[in-house]
Amino acid sequence: MTSQSQGFLPDVEIRVNTVPIGVIGAGMIVSEVQLAAYQEAGFPVAAIASRTPAHAAEVAERYKILTVHETPKDLIDDPQIEILDIAYPPDLQPELIRYALTKPHIKGILAQKPLALTLDDAVALRDEAHAAGKLLSVNQNMRYDQSIRVLKQILDRGELGEPILASIDMRAIPHWQSFLEDYDRLTLSNMSVHHLDALRHLFGEPDEIYTAARTDPRTQFAHQDGIVVSTLRFPTGLLAVSMEDVWAGPRDEDFDSEFYIRWRVEGTRGVAQGTIGWPNGKPSTLEYASQDTTEGKWVRPTWNTHWFPHAFIGVMEQLQYAVATNTTPVLTVDDNVRTIALVEAGYRSIDENRPVKLSEVPIA
C-alpha cells in the first residue's frame, strides 16, 4: 500500500529551489549525499570550498559547480552566495558562522550537527545569529527520513492514542571522521544526537535523561562514550530509549553480522514500528496498527526514496523557503540548542551516574 493512498507525505514538496548556495566542505556527506540531493531537487549550488582545494575542485567538476574558492572565507565573501551550507568539523564551524553573520549577502546558514562542541558555544551562536538578523538552521536530517516523517504524521493524527513507550535501537558501525579523535566526546555527541533530536521532534521536551556508556572495543583512539544507552522520561509519563551500539558484534569475513536501526512506538490505541535504511542502503520502512483507524490490522505504507540522500532535500528546502519568503525555518537554531542541551545533560548523566533533569541545563 503506497503512502499516498493513506494520505501520508514521506517526502517534502519542493516549494522553492532558486536561492544560490555556497557549500563549505567536500567530504563524503557533501560529495555523496548532500550534493546528490541538491542536484535531484534542482537547488542551485553556485560555489564550493574546503580545507583541501583539490578536493573541492574534484567535487565541483563532478557536479558542474562553476566556482571553486581557495578558502572557506573566500567563499563566504562571494556576493552571489545567499545560503551558506557548512559541512565542517564542529570545532571549526563556529568561526565560519560568525564570519558569515557579518556579510549582508548571506541570508541563511545551514550548519552541521553538532552545532558546537559545548552548550555555551551553541547558545552564543544562537544569540549572535538573532542579533545579526540571520536565519541559522541546523542539519538535523533524521527528521526528514521517510519513516520518521510518516510516524510523526500518524502521531499527530492521534492514531496510536497516548504514547507509552518508544525506542530507537541502532546496531551499526559508523565511519568516525578523523577529526573526532581530537575531541573528548564521541557517540553521544555525533550519533545519539540524531536519535535524541528525533525523539524530541516526535514527543516534545523530556523532563530528564539517564545515559550510560562504555568504550567500544573496535574504536582504537581514546574515548569515553562508545556504546551508549539513554533513557528519557517525558512529562506525560512516556519512556523512550535510545541505544547506539557501535560495536554490533565481530566484523570478520566469516561472521554473519546484522546491522540495522529499528524503532518502535507503543500507544494506548496502537503500535508503530519500522527501520531506518541507512545501514543497508534500502528505503526505510514503517508498519502500524491502530484500534481506531486500521481495525487493529497492520498497515504498511511504502515509498522508494531513502534517508540518504533524499532526506537532505527536505533539510535544504525548508531553508530555501524561509529565505525566499522571509519566514522562520522549520529547523531553527533555537530548537537545535534544546537538542544540544539534551546531549549535554546526557554527558552530565554519564559523569555523575544519575538521571539529570533538563531544568539543570539552562539555555536561556
Whole-number Å distance between alpha carbons of 257 and 98 = 44
Asked if the model's pLDDT at residue 4 lies above 70, the reply is: no
Whole-number Å distance between alpha carbons of 79 and 69 = 13
Confidence of residue 5 (pLDDT cuts 50, 70, 90): low
Residue 49 CA, chain-centre distance (Å), reads 22
3-state secondary structure of 262: strand
Q: 239 exposed, middle or buried (CB, 10 Å; 0-12, 13-18, 19+)?
A: middle
What residue ranges in 208-330 does DSSP mark as E strands?
A: 208-214, 227-233, 239-245, 260-267, 270-276, 285-290
3-state secondary structure of 116: coil
Asked if the model's pLDDT at residue 1 lies above 80, the reply is: no
pLDDT tens-digit series, residues 152-162: 999 999 999 99
3-state secondary structure of 361: coil
Asked if the model's pLDDT at residue 300 lies above 60, the reply is: yes
- The per-residue pLDDT of the chain, averaged, comes to 96
Neighbours of 6 (CB within 10 A): 17
Measuring CA to CA, which residue among 120, 64, 114 is closest to residue 86?
114
Taking the domains of the chain in order of start, what are their residue ranges? Answer: 12-141+314-330, 142-307+339-359
CATH code: domain 12-141+314-330 is 3.40.50.720
Q: Estimate the share of the chain in helix, then strand, then coil, as percent rounded to the nearest 5.
A: 40, 20, 40
Distances (CA, A) of 175 to 23, 31, 38, 193: 22, 15, 23, 16
pLDDT tens-digit series, residues 161-195: 999 999 999 999 998 999 999 999 999 999 999 99
Asked if the model's pLDDT at residue 276 lies above 70, the reply is: yes
Residues in the chain, overall count: 364
Please answer whether residues 24 and 50 qualify as being in contact, where contact means their C-beta atoms are separated by less than 8 angstroms: yes
Please answer whether residues 342 and 358 qualify as being in contact, where contact means their C-beta atoms are separated by less than 8 angstroms: yes
Fold designation for 142-307+339-359: Dihydrodipicolinate Reductase; domain 2 (3.30.360)
pLDDT (average), residues 348-357: 98
pTM of the full structure: 0.96
Confidence of residue 204 (pLDDT cuts 50, 70, 90): very high
Neighbours of 220 (CB within 10 A): 9
pLDDT tens-digit series, residues 303-333: 999 999 999 999 999 999 999 999 999 999 9
Confidence of residue 2 (pLDDT cuts 50, 70, 90): low
Rounded to 5 degrees, what are φ and ψ at 251?
A: -125, 60
